Amino acid sequence: MKKKKITHVEVRNFSRSVNLLFNVLIAIFAISCILPFIFVVAISFTKESAIVSHGYSFWPSQFSLDGYRFLFNQMKSQIFQSLLVTLTVTIFGTLINTTTTSLYAYAISRTTFPLRKFFTVFCLITMLFSPGMIANYLVMTNMLHLNDTIFALILPMAVSPFNIIVMRTFFRRQVPDAIIESARIDGASEIRIFTQIVLPLAVPGIATISLFAALGYWNDWFNALLYIQSDNLIPLQYLLMKIQNNLQFLMQNAVAGAQLQGGLSSLPGESARMAIVVISILPIALSYPFFQKYFVKGLTIGGVKE
């Protein structure tokens, strides 16, 4: 039985009142996402005594940089080194993750690849079942001997099964087999096809998985906790985590806090915690608008499983 060809697609237009209602709901949702970050920034610039006296507010009753000064004094000898480590890990880790993910996804997206079903199932198994922390630790330390090296911060997240599935669907929908076959007929090699034909068509998808990978590397501190002992290889997030733990200890220990200049009351507890949050998420928040155009397109196209 032949399928009827659809020649006309009916587009349903909503009334102005319904469009206005949806716009208001979306605006409320957007504001609800932005307000917590504004709240955190306001607290980070509020004097600790004002927080104790008046509580939290969206506009600081007394402006102060004590939280940021405390962080700088705690990590002034380490901050630039840790920032350099984090930038290095994020840049090279994102490049490695994007490259391996794109190559793997492109291979299993082609129907001419004889082992595509095997590698697809293999990817799904690794995404659904994790070997656990002990197995990962033994592989990194006893087998690969990468403990206390910068590779211990990069390789554990070098391949993302979820991103592979997203890019696999993206390649199948955006790169037709006819284009690949015509390039092969013209004598193009597989590397040339991938670099000069496939990659330009896959910019939205690559931007999407690159943002995911960069966010994961930037926020990672657990791998540093497991594998790093040298102070020269401590990433920024792990350094901030150590400062937060020290701050919590001082806030709970009156004897240790009394040894500080001015006593325990001068310690900017809440403002310093919020300053840590601001420092952690601000670079990613500033870079997101540059990826938003490709991020939305790549996520919606690659999100449909075939």
pLDDT of 140 higher than 60: yes
Give every CB contact of residue 81 below 8 A, 6+ residues apart in sequence: 231, 232, 234
pLDDT at res. 6: 45
Supply φ then ψ for residue 134, to 5 degrees. -65, -45
Question: Considering its fold, how many domains does the chain have in total?
Answer: 1
Q: What is the mean pLDDT of residues 85-99?
A: 92
Q: Per-residue pLDDT tens for 175-204?
A: 887 888 888 888 888 888 888 888 888 888
Residue 3: inside a domain = no
Tell me whether residue 118 is in a domain: yes
Any idea what the CATH number is for the domain that residue 201 is in?
A: 1.10.3720.10
Residue 216's domain spans which residues?
66-302
* Three-point CA angle 224, 230, 231, nearest 5°: 90
Residue 288 lies in a domain: yes
Q: Is 94 exposed, middle or buried (0-12, 13-18, 19+ CB in 10 A)?
A: buried
Lowest mean pLDDT among 16-20, 49-53, 88-92, 250-254: 250-254
Q: Is residue 270 part of a domain?
A: yes
Residue with tokens 């926020």: 219
Does some domain include residue 40? Answer: no
Residue at 35 is within a domain: no
- Does residue 100 lie in a domain region? yes
Q: Which tokens sit at 107?
A: 């291979």
Does residue 128 belong to any structural domain of this protein? yes
Residues 14, 29, 297, 207, Cα dihedral to 10°: 170
